[in-house]
Structure 1
């Protein structure tokens, strides 16, 4: 299924990607040398990107992802909210995540920002027994059925 453009990962300007790549490297170097400027650099980086990265993200940025993937993530919106995702679109996004799509991180951020279910990643990667091996539409139904408890 094709997804609407607002559900797809936004393109990143190569110049922006290069600038973020360079800044990530600079912050990593500041941390490696114990510079007191590292915290301020991370704060400025977060202000520029809209994300909430911590020292841990920069201490070893290649541990969980490549430097290019880190820069690409930082260049994209931190909370890409699309409130009117349909059941079919949600099922397609879940399918893409479950099959290891290259843009899984974007799709997970999109779901967390757009669907109120508090454990979407667990629902997809570690579903409850009655949803193990369920098709994406069943997982989408479970995600859409969640209602927060009113206090």
Structure 2
């Protein structure tokens, strides 16, 4: 009778050990998946930072071009001040060009704001994943101890 009770207890312990091994394997896989996700988020964050940098450079180039066009317009207006009709035509076409540049500048600024928001969101997701990874590692260490 006592031997049978010991065998039952051994079987229970083996079953519990198998369940714990399965749980640990599942958590290890989850930790691995989170690490992969973190790597992907890091790559996405780097890509967003690069795109933001490019947008800033493009924005500065557009601002410079707009300033150059503005100076060019002022110079043309001054040079042709005595020729009203010619000046009016130049100003009209230049304003259309300036309007196009302003639209592009506003679009670039909008893109920059969008990328900044995406960047903040990606950083938050990365922080959340890292926090979850640390918790799971702590639980895993606790289970292994």
Structure number with greater Rg is 2
Alignment TM-score, normalising by the size of structure 1: 0.27
Structure showing greater relative contact order (alpha-carbon pairs closer than 8 Å, 6 or more residues apart): 2
Alignment TM-score, normalising by the size of structure 2: 0.27
